Amino acid sequence: MSRTLIGRTVRRLRSERNLSQQALAASLGISASYLNLIEHDQRAVTASLLIKLAETLRVDLRELSGSQERQLEVGLREAFGDPLLGVEAVPHPEVEAIAAGSPHAARAILALYRAWRVAREDASGMALPSGRRIILPNEEARDFFDEHSNHFPALETAAEALAAELAPGTPSEMNHAIAERLRRVHAVTVSVQPLEGALRRYDPATRSLALSENLPRQSRGFQMAFQLALLEARDAVEAAVQEASPSTTEAGMLIRIGLLNYVAGALLMPYAVFRGAAASLRHDMELVAARFGVSFEQACHRLSTLQRIGQRGVPFFFLRVDPAGNVSKRFSAAGFPFARFGGSCPRWVVHTAFAQPATVQVQVAELPDGTAFLCFARTVAPPAVRYGEPRPMHVVAMGCALANAGEVAYADGLDLERSKIGIGLSCRLCDRQDCYSRAFPPLEHRLALDPLTAGSSPYRFEARRR
């Protein structure tokens, strides 16, 4: 665990809890001056002190990894590096200082930058009657789930209580148990039929739930679970939506639907059972999906939610992207620093997986700062609607830190050090020289162009001066 990350994280957690250095130091049994040195990364943290910190600050050890600060740094680098702002480059130490010492100010800067981008790209985006911050509804919903690390204890509790009442004999029998619950408790009849332009349609007047005949079995089960969540987990979901305090009706509805999907996933894949199965199958997600009768994407998404304090699973990031590079889902329990405002690296397995559909592709991806992740990705696609209609293919990708690679089947047979592939966060933030795949010059470097020389990269640049 990096010392530089520990200091800034301890400082943030102490500040969020309104604790003085003196008060925290007293709880830890150390002097305030020693704690000050730790917070400024001038003293290492022993294992015993690390455990005391986690207990005193009431966090899991993994929350001391500094992933929040790292994600803020990435966002700030993108914002400050936007050439249209016309400002001088902000040195890395200053970016790090803002993210670590003033996280609320850092988030405010990013909110302003998002508002400016929306206003620049679409002037109508400024016309919010409430006068609240300008942000697209999908971005607001994504921020809400990110802020909660894609884990909602109240929804887990509601799903577990409901699953206990359903009491299926095996995970594969859950679909039948849900259909019976809908029929017996709510008098809802479920039918599979042709549906034009819809996958699921519920009629409250006739209490009938129609599922599209185009849906595969696992998707039908998920839609029934969603309907049951809508009927029986409404209070827990509405409480979470109220906490989010969405700025627009559209953002509120996206958050609400996302939370109902969360309950549906938790119902089909109960926390403890799913966590145990994933561990025993060594996170071979095709086998995990088969055991629970769900899709590959559903199983991967559920894996990214295992953040219960004291019962965490291996921390994975989760990403879903289309061939154009548009990200429709993104969660980072593993601390992967996603680029927020631009495309990601074309060398990443997330994009190369499109070349071999329906096959799990594995990559040890190393970021420019030396941090490496075991990543795996596979294409997913819904059934075709009709002949000639393009299928909206996506790639679902996950990854974890190399420290956890031994718990993942996809690492078997790999030399984790020699297999590393260098990637960047995005071309505009990447410092790598001589990259064949570079699409844009880096924002923080001066170009060094020479008509007498043709290099492997279309954009040669000078090394940054610290």
Task: Report yes or no: 394 and 379 within 8 Å, Cβ to Cβ.
Answer: yes
Summarised one tens digit per residue, pLDDT across range 312-359 is 899 999 999 999 888 888 887 667 877 766 668 889 999 999 999 999
Angle (nearest 5°) at CA 287 between 174 and 181: 5
Summarised one tens digit per residue, pLDDT across range 257-308 is 999 999 999 999 999 999 999 999 999 999 999 999 999 999 999 999 998 8
**pLDDT confidence of residue 84:** 66
Asked if pLDDT for residue 128 goes beyond 50, the answer is no
Question: Phi, psi at residue 422, to the nearest 5°?
Answer: -75, 125
Asked if pLDDT for residue 231 goes beyond 60, the answer is yes
Mean pLDDT across the chain: 85
- Percent pLDDT > 70 in the chain is 85
- The domains located in the chain, with CATH, are 3-65 (1.10.260.40), 68-135 (no CATH), 153-290 (1.10.10.2910), 317-416 (3.30.450)
Asked if pLDDT for residue 449 goes beyond 80, the answer is no
Q: What is the full DSSP assignment across 258-292?
A: HHHHHHHHHHHS-HHHHHHHHHHTTT-HHHHHHHH
Summarised one tens digit per residue, pLDDT across range 373-392 is 999 999 998 877 777 778 88
Task: Report yes or no: 74 and 92 within 8 Å, Cβ to Cβ.
Answer: no
**pLDDT confidence of residue 461:** 67
Rounded mean pLDDT of 98-120?
77
Asked if pLDDT for residue 1 goes beyond 70, the answer is no
**pLDDT confidence of residue 207:** 95
**pLDDT confidence of residue 445:** 65
**pLDDT confidence of residue 336:** 80
- Percent pLDDT > 90 in the chain is 45
Q: How far apart are CA 164 and CA 440, in angstroms?
A: 53
Residue 388 CB partners (closer than 8 Å, separation 6+): none
Q: Which tops the pLDDT comparison, 287 or 433?
A: 287
Asked if pLDDT for residue 213 goes beyond 80, the answer is yes
Q: How far apart are CA 429 and CA 81, in angstroms?
A: 8
Asked if pLDDT for residue 217 goes beyond 80, the answer is yes
The number of beta carbons lying within 10 Å of the beta carbon of residue 106 is 23
Q: Which tops the pLDDT comparison, 452 or 398?
A: 398
Rounded mean pLDDT of 223-249?
95
**pLDDT confidence of residue 169:** 81
59-63, 403-407, 438-442, range with greatest mean pLDDT: 403-407
The tokens for 206 are 């006739």
